[in-house]
Amino acid sequence: MGVWSVCCILLISCQLKFSCAHNDFFTSIGHMTDLLFTEKDLVTSLKDYIRAEERKLEQVKQWAEKLDAITTTATQDPEGFLGHPVNAFKLMKRLNTEWGEVEDLVLKDMSDGFISNLTIQRQYFPNDEDQTGAAKALLRLQDTYKLDTQTISSGDLPGLTTGLPFKSTLTVGDCFELGKIAYSEADYYHTELWMEQALKQLNEEEESSIDIVTVLDYLSYSVYQQGELERALDYTMRLLTVDPEHQRALGNLKYFDYQLAKQKKAEKEQSTKEESNKKQQEESERKEYLPEKRKYEQLCRGEGLRMLRRATVHDPQTGKLTTAQYRVSKSAWLAAYEHPVVDRINQRIEDITGLDVKTAEELQVANYGVGGQYEPHFDFGRKDEPDAFKELGTGNRIATWLFYMSDVPAGGATVFPEVGAAVKPIKGTAVFWYNLFPSGEGDYSTRHAACPVLVGNKWVSNKWIHERGQEFRRPCGLKETD
């Protein structure tokens, strides 16, 4: 089938489509690979600069050693030394001429080539959005796969082969940065987790630019925001043992004390039974609010299975394609005329399914980014989306064909929460399903999702087949309920 050829076509397409863009790097592993080569080029340039600086310093060192020997001897008997006219002349010459040459050498900028290269490349660097997106991807993986902060920080992720050279660990600064990004999103739960990890590693790392006072400050506030006043008070008191004059902590100490006393008084006035009922009600409401999300994440973890440019999604409000936070990937569309491999793939899909692909959408090839995912969704247009695919003029999406073009060591499964099924990505395999019943009604059990990629690089291609052209290939039943 030539899936590697399709990847090559996609890479060329991506270069054409994304060469002018420098954001959303985190949404595609394929797009991020360019950054590695950019960084390698910069390292080479930096090493050239270092070698030039070392040559300069060697010259300065030789000059210093020569002058050190002269001045050590001369200062033992200054008058006797200068009594020799040659020494007197050379002193005048050194101070008038040679020290100026040394000054020029010391001030000489050896970084011109490196700075020029860095300036050129900087315009293609990731921006704040990319850094935040990558951080949020780590938090998403943490939740979906129930990973603790120590597992992520140590780099020992499920699916990694032991001894791999690219295993990375997080420093105190990295953990602190994750906590700060969560804090900026008012995500105090993850702020607490990562600030605690930073605090833990502060005791293990000898040097760090992060100080314990700052970490404790974030911790006390994040746990307070989650309603844990006693722990907020504990962290505040711990902060004050390190910095007794910390003004915000002194103010918080009084406030938390007051709020805690108020809370305890309220708890005494409320019966245990009422509190228990309240908690049960809250838990029940929470479960009702996120039933699908729980099923989706369970399937992504392999629990409860019954085994069997930035990418866009359809906006039901506008009828147009747009980007969405619940889809983290990049994709390209390949037409049959662009390459014989694409044409052969289309023909193979038609031969296997028996459906006409002439009215199908172009082959979409997608590469998922850091924690790449696509949350639960339908491929077909629902009744409340009358303009879905109207511009195509080929009716609704009757079926979906999905190719897996790479193996994924961990995560990245395609899951169907309604039926409790999951399909693990295995290179060279595919999955096919009908989105519509023969009557044309949507099959709501086909709601599916792409789980976050935990480890690896996920490439897929899919073909959305439409109703038009299938009238005699998949005819309607005799009854409307068929």
| Distance separating alpha carbons of residues 175 and 189, to the nearest angstrom | 14
Tell me the helix, strand and coil percentages in the chain, rounded to 5.
55, 10, 35
> What predicted TM-score, i.e. pTM, was given to this entire model?
0.72
Quote the pLDDT of residue 309: 47
CA proximity to 397, closest of 425, 366, 368, 434: 434
State both tokens at 172: 């105190």
Question: Each residue of 64-119: pLDDT tens digit?
Answer: 998 899 899 889 988 888 776 777 777 877 788 788 888 888 888 877 777 787 78
* Alpha carbons 331 and 324: distance in angstroms, whole number: 13
Model pLDDT, residue 320? 55
Contact residues for 342 (Cβ-Cβ < 8 A; gap 6+) = 6, 9, 334, 335, 336, 363
CB neighbour class for 236 (10 Å; exposed up to 12, middle 13-18, buried from 19): buried
Pick from 343, 416, 329: nearest CA to 24? 329
**Number of helical (H) and strand (E) elements in the chain, helices listed first:** 16, 13
Tell me which H or E stretch contains 283: helix 272-289
Q: Coil, strand or helix: which one is 430? A: strand
pLDDT given for residue 9 in this prediction: 44
Instruction: Please name the amino acid found at residue 446.
Output: T
- Select from 54, 53, 45 the least CA-distant residue to 113: 45
Cα dihedral value 14, 466, 381, 365, nearest 10:
-20
CB 133 within 8 A of CB 370: yes
Whole-Å CA distances, 244 to 30, 121, 230, 250, 260: 50, 46, 19, 8, 21
pLDDT of residue 122: 77
Ramachandran quadrant class, 147 (left: phi over 0; alpha: psi -120 to 50; beta: rest): beta
| List of the chain residues with pLDDT < 50 | 1, 3-22, 285-289, 309-310, 323-324, 326-327
Rounded to whole angstroms, the Cα distance separating 72 from 312 reads 74
Tracing tokens 């950054």 back to the chain, one arrives at 35
**1's tokens:** 């089938």
